[in-house]
């Protein structure tokens, strides 16, 4: 009887571990999405705060990046 109880506990632990796989995958995808968006916004921030270009050139670069990123 004790062996049957141990097997049942092992089975339930395995089922519980399998149930956690989608949650872990969702967490990883959220982290990668935040990382990707941070890099995407960083490129806009670098251009917007650059002292190398004029205001109108910055606006042109930002519009070009925004439009090209949507079509890519």
Per-residue pLDDT tens digits for 1-60: 788 989 999 999 999 899 899 988 999 999 999 999 999 899 889 988 988 888 899 999
Could you tell me which residues come within 8 angstroms of residue 62 by beta carbon, excluding any fewer than 6 positions away? 44, 47, 48
Answer whether residue 72 shows pLDDT above 70: no
pLDDT of residue 1: 75
- For the full predicted model, state whether its pTM sits above 0.75: no
| In the chain, where the domains are located | 2-71
DSSP states of 26-44 as a string? Answer: HHHHHHHHHHHHHHHHHHH
């Amino acid at each position: 009887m004790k062996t049957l109880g141990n097997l049942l506990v092992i089975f339930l632990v395995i089922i519980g571990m399998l149930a956690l796989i989608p949650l872990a995958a969702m967490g990883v995808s959220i982290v990668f999405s935040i990382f990707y968006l941070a890099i995407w916004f960083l490129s806009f921030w670098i251009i917007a705060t650059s002292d190398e270009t004029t205001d109108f050139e910055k606006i042109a670069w930002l519009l070009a990046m925004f439009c090209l990123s949507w079509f890519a």
